[in-house]
Amino acid sequence: MPRLVRPTPALSLALAIALAGGAMALAACSGDDDGGDDEAADVGRLETVVEDDDLAEAVDVAAGGDGVWVVSGDGRVLAVTGDGLAEVEGLDEVSAAAGVGASDDGTLFAADPDRANLVRYQDGRAAAGEVPAVQQLSALTAAADGTVFIADHDGLQVVSISADGRVGEAVGDALAGPLSVAPDGTLYYVDDQVLGGRIVALAPGGGPEGLTREVERDEDGNPVEPPAEGAVAGDSYIEARDLAATDDGLLILTFTNEVWRIGDDGRLELVLRRGGGSALVALGASGDDVYVLDAGAATLSTVDAGG
């Protein structure tokens, strides 16, 4: 789930160019919640779950079971409660860059890259276990059955860790992140988010299948062909910031404050667009609920993303 994958120093300039391009596109999409008279009107409706100043610095959201959590930029994990946000104790080693994931039984998963550990948090207790044969833990996601997929940035792989602790290589030769798992077990990931951004699907027992083309950029680093509603995903460029896989298709958060869906027919549908002071930074999904984290408005909301 957000987040840029952790870039190497050689990629820093490319990352800066990419983000600058996204910022310029975002500025062009300014507007208020009513759409106003701006060139790019808002699309979709959001229902606010919580509004809190801490969300202005938040970088990721995860949902599973009855729990919803957000991660702040300084690595704190905050649980969404009936009264707002409450800091989760015992998760001091969470990496804000790697993000969090959750399974259907309400277990929260986080990464401790410095120790190559996977941290599990359930029922108020945290436990950590080493992930063998990895070089640098990065983005992660969790499946409904408790299987966790973690990108190994420096090792160019995605490892899987089953609920009983078995470790395997799910994807090889991929600079993967962000990641998301659909209810049917299909793993989705962005391959080389900084320089290419191709979205890939890996169905259980199958091989990697590209869903979109790599992002082509002009000399200023801007995407040359933004997605168009109704376009076929496999023939389109789309610049993914985060992913959320649901029963109704794959949701894609872009760097331009938009959420698109790739449905079963492979076509792109615009689900959400926000301008003005919004800064959409992460998606999370659990059951029928799709959560959108807006750091600009300091809100966590649900969006109607039904197919």
Those residues whose C-beta lies under 8 Å from the C-beta of residue 292, and which sit 6 or more positions away, are 46, 253, 259, 272, 280, 282, 283, 300, 301, 302, 303
Beta strands in 105-210 (DSSP E): 108-112, 117-122, 125-130, 137-142, 148-152, 157-161, 167-172, 176-181, 187-191, 198-202, 208-210
Give residue 7's pLDDT: 36
Tens digit of pLDDT at every position of the chain (307 positions): 443 333 333 333 333 333 334 433 433 333 344 444 445 689 999 999 999 999 999 999 999 999 999 998 888 899 999 999 999 987 765 666 667 899 999 999 988 887 788 889 998 888 888 888 888 888 999 999 999 999 998 999 999 999 998 999 999 999 998 999 999 999 999 998 877 789 999 999 999 999 999 888 888 878 888 888 899 999 989 999 999 999 989 999 999 899 999 988 999 999 999 998 999 999 999 988 999 999 999 999 999 876 6
Place of tokens 């500025």: 27
Calpha distance 251→256 (Å, rounded): 14
**Nearest CA-CA partner of 156 in 175, 143, 171:** 175
Give residue 33's pLDDT: 44
Q: Write down all domains in the chain, each with its CATH number in brackets.
A: 9-303 (2.120.10.30)
